[in-house]
Structure 1
Amino acid sequence: MKVLTFKSSQGALGKVGSEKAPELVLKELKELYLSESGRVLNVEKFDVEVDNSNIFTSGENLEIAFKKNYSHSRIVVVGGDHSMTYFSFKAFASRENNSGLIIFDAHPDCMENFKVTHEDFVRVLIDENILNSKNIILVGLRNWHKNEYAYLKSKRITYFTMEQVFNDYQDVCDTIMENIRSWGNTYVSVDIDFLDPAFAPGTGYLEAGGASTRELLYFLKRIKMINSVKAFDLVEIIPDKDKEGITVKAGAKVLSEFLS
């Protein structure tokens, strides 16, 4: 499977370090010889050129690379901060009709800051009519600003708090899959802070009360069974904040299950 690496933290509002994640995650991935289902993990890596002086030049390079390598078969992007998803999903949506987006994240990323950062990229995608607000599901929310909450309500965006996930993650997953089947092809984005800090301490925003790695794997194992799920990204791992490497290992494990 084709894997694009995007080594940039330009949209992270000063929280640098996620640019180091792609190489370390892919290095750790080599230690996982087979997936849990016994499948070989085949990676065809492509590095996206980053212009550290201009986030939009970097983003345009990502869009070009995504379009070049995406042929309606599955593709992966490893970042990097979450603003990356603005550019990669934009490229995905340009090639697909009625495309959908599933995001596993502790935050809605719907702030009104400035275009485009890891705190507002979801809002920008919707406001620029790149993404239909009916075709997105946010999973795992547990820290949000009142303005984000108001935006979610005004746009009638489907979301599940972490409490809802904890109370019945199987039912939540059923609902997600039902929605995916009603869309065109779907893009899945995983912010590592969906996981509890006990499982992923190496990230920019540590939000207590998150999911376990196994719970995230449950979602991904089921979701990937749907053929219309075509793209996946992994973001917001900051290796230097986790000297034991737990977060990188979790990221590699998550990646392995989508790749298999």
Structure 2
Amino acid sequence: MSWAKILDCGDAPLTFLDNTVALKQLEKAHKVVSGRKAKNPSKSQTPRIIAFGGDHTTTLPALRSAASRWGKVSVIHFDSHLDTWDPKVLGGGITQYIPKGDLRNDVRCGFDMIKARDIDRIGVDGVIKKIKERVQDTNVYISVDIDVLDPAFAPATGTAEVGGWTTRELLSILDGLEDLNVVGADVVEVAPIYDNPGETTVLAAAEVVHSLLTLMVQKPVTST
């Protein structure tokens, strides 16, 4: 698309000595970038950001920043773990059986869940349909934890879970979200030090980023 321009904004400076300070630094960096107006006023005036993270905590400041620029946003969260359980309660993986008690906080937070093995029952098209029915025409933030993929396809992550999706399945689902108003995204939990010589995980993550960029370019969105 001739109207779209992609920029690498580099690394956000942050301290490793204090997590609270680091989160504030990340949110400020996100806001600095998203606060710059695009040159083409007929299209998306607010830059849309894809963040590359280590720990999935980086999504929190990115979401806060996105909400400050775009208003209320829906979140599509791809992950092999809940990441939303109450800190007082031990959590579990969503590639496997989860005790109902672990889901209470997700219900309270308003999450609907599609489990990894649902794809065997409803297929890729069924997963896409359920996601679209949930978010409808709202502004959307997509967060992809690379461990949503089975370790056979993405071994280089800190908390791999057996029973995840294939790379092809994830990419097909992302590509099927082409009509959504994607205003921000991230790809997290990639740990290159754990990758194999063929860099399977890094290649998968790069292709996921490409799919997310494509979603943004296909659908211009104007902030309020």
Instruction: Tell me the TM-score range normalised by the shorter chain.
Output: 0.7 to 0.9
Matches of residues 132-151 of structure 1 in structure 2 within 5 Å?
Answer: 141-143=94-96, 144=98, 147-151=101-105
**Pick aligned residue for 2:19 from 55, 64, 70:** 55
Q: Which has the larger share of strand? A: 1
Give the corresponding residue for 1:46.
10
**Pick aligned residue for 2:51 from 34, 52, 77:** 77
- CA positional deviation for 1:150: 2.7
- Does residue 177 of the first structure (1) align with residue 132 of the second (2)? yes
Give the corresponding residue for 2:82.
108
Q: Distance in 2 between matches of 1:156 and 1:230?
A: 20
Q: Which runs of no fewer than 5 residues in structure 1 stay unpaired?
A: 1-39, 121-139
RMSD across aligned positions (CA):
2.5
Relative to 1, partners in 2 of residues 1:152 and 1:112: Cα closer, same or farther, differing over 3 Å? closer
Helix, strand or coil at the partner of 2:142? strand
1:224 and 1:258 in contact (8 A); partners too: no
Q: Distance in 2 between matches of 1:178 and 1:157?
A: 13
Q: Distance in 1 between matches of 2:47 and 2:13?
A: 23
- CA positional deviation for 1:182: 4.0
Give the corresponding residue for 1:16.
none
- CA positional deviation for 1:170: 0.8
Relative to 1, partners in 2 of residues 1:58 and 1:182: Cα closer, same or farther, differing over 3 Å? same
- Partner deviation per Cα, 1:163-222 (whole Å, 9 max, x = no partner): 112322211211212322243x11000000100110001111121111111111112112
Q: Percent identity?
A: 32
2:77 and 2:142 in contact (8 A); partners too: yes
Q: Which runs of no fewer than 5 residues in structure 2 stay unpaired?
A: 35-44, 215-224
- Does residue 249 of the first structure (1) align with residue 223 of the second (2)? no
- Structure of larger gyration radius: 2
2:85 and 2:103 in contact (8 A); partners too: no
Give the corresponding residue for 1:221.
175
Q: Distance in 2 between matches of 1:178 and 1:72?
A: 26
Normalised TM-score (structure 1): 0.68
Q: Distance in 1 between matches of 2:5 and 2:81?
A: 30
1:223 and 1:229 in contact (8 A); partners too: no
Relative to 1, partners in 2 of residues 1:156 and 1:258: Cα closer, same or farther, differing over 3 Å? closer
Q: Distance in 2 between matches of 1:158 and 1:231?
A: 20
Q: Distance in 2 between matches of 1:179 and 1:72?
A: 25
Q: For residue 51 of structure 1, what is the amino acid of its counterpart?
A: T
Helix, strand or coil at the partner of 2:85? coil
Give the corresponding residue for 1:137.
none
Q: For residue 235 of structure 1, what is the amino acid of its counterpart?
A: V
**Pick aligned residue for 1:86 from 41, 60, 63:** 60
